[in-house]
Structure 1
Amino acid sequence: MSKYGPIISIEDDHDDQYLLKSVLEEMNIANPVYFFENGLEAFNFLEVTTEQPFLILCDINMPVMNGLELRQRIDENPYLKKKAIPFIFLSTSGSLPLIDEAYKSTIQGFYKKGSSFQDFKKQIELIVAYWEACLHPNTRL
């Protein structure tokens, strides 16, 4: 993990993409943000990039490849698994069966998106602050 690496957002809703971009700008986060509209696009990027992403924020319900399928593909890929990129689900869905299913894989968090801009911003602030402070196998000190 690189604290300065890109934030990967996998989100098919353009309004939610705009919301995340707005929150990160308001927080003065300097990391580049790469948006992907489905898990397959993100997976294809992650397989070839030499960058070490800071973290992945992933929706669950998306076309082509959903978030659960993406997490499974990352876990099965030795190159990506070794990168150990923090993977957080950030979704409008928050049912207990879905949360249980998500935690069967190696995720680092599951958040139901805040219902207001301020609630969503608080969630992102918590996530970013935690991972900025956290030591990690690929931390560049």
Structure 2
Amino acid sequence: MAKAGPILILEDDHDDREIYGQIMASLGVKNEIKFFEGGDDLLRYLQVTPDRPFIILSDINVPRMSGIELMRQIDADEFLRKKSIPFVFLTTVESKEVVDEAYELAIQGYFVKKDLLEDIEKQVRQILDYWRDCKHPNA
């Protein structure tokens, strides 16, 4: 994890992407923000990029490869697993079965998106602050 590295966001909803962009600007985030519509796109990026991403914020229900399947692929790939990129779900899915399935993988958090912009901003701030302060093997 490189604290100055890009923040990778897996989100297919255009409105949610705009919200995340507004939040990052409001929080004064200096990291580059990279959006991906499908898990397959993000996986390909991780496999070839020399970038050292700061964090992955992932929705679950996205086209072509879900957030859960993306995390499975990362976990199964020794090269990607050793990058130790914090992986956090930020999604509308509240199902206990999905939460249980997510935590069977090597994720570092599962948050249900709030409805109000100010509440989503608070969630994102908490997540980013935690990982900025956290000691990490790839920092």
Question: Shorter-chain TM-score category?
Answer: over 0.9
Segments ≥4 residues shifted beyond 3 Å: none
Q: Which runs of 5+ in 1 are unaligned?
A: none
Give % identity: 44
Q: Superposition RMSD on alpha carbons, in Å?
A: 0.5
Shift of 1:133: 0.1
Q: Which runs of 5+ in 2 are unaligned?
A: none
Cα distance in 2, alignment partners of residues 81 and 50 from structure 1: 15
SS across alignment from 1:89:
strand
Shift of 1:72: 0.3
Q: Is residue 96 of structure 1 aligned with residue 100 of structure 2?
A: no
Cα distance in 1, alignment partners of residues 81 and 102 from structure 2: 17
Per-residue Cα deviation, 1:38-95 (whole angstroms, up to 9, x for no partner): 1000000000001110000000011100001000000011111010000000101111
- Counterpart amino acid of 1:10? L
2:54 corresponding residue in structure 1: 54
Please report the TM-score for the alignment, with normalisation by the length of structure 2. Answer: 0.99
2:75 corresponding residue in structure 1: 75
Cα distance in 2, alignment partners of residues 63 and 54 from structure 1: 23
1:27 corresponding residue in structure 2: 27
Cα distance in 2, alignment partners of residues 131 and 63 from structure 1: 27
SS across alignment from 2:88:
strand
SS across alignment from 2:22:
helix
Please report the TM-score for the alignment, with normalisation by the length of structure 1. Answer: 0.97
Cα distance in 2, alignment partners of residues 77 and 26 from structure 1: 35
- Counterpart amino acid of 1:97? E
Cα distance in 2, alignment partners of residues 15 and 118 from structure 1: 15
Aligned residues: 139
Cα distance in 2, alignment partners of residues 110 and 123 from structure 1: 11
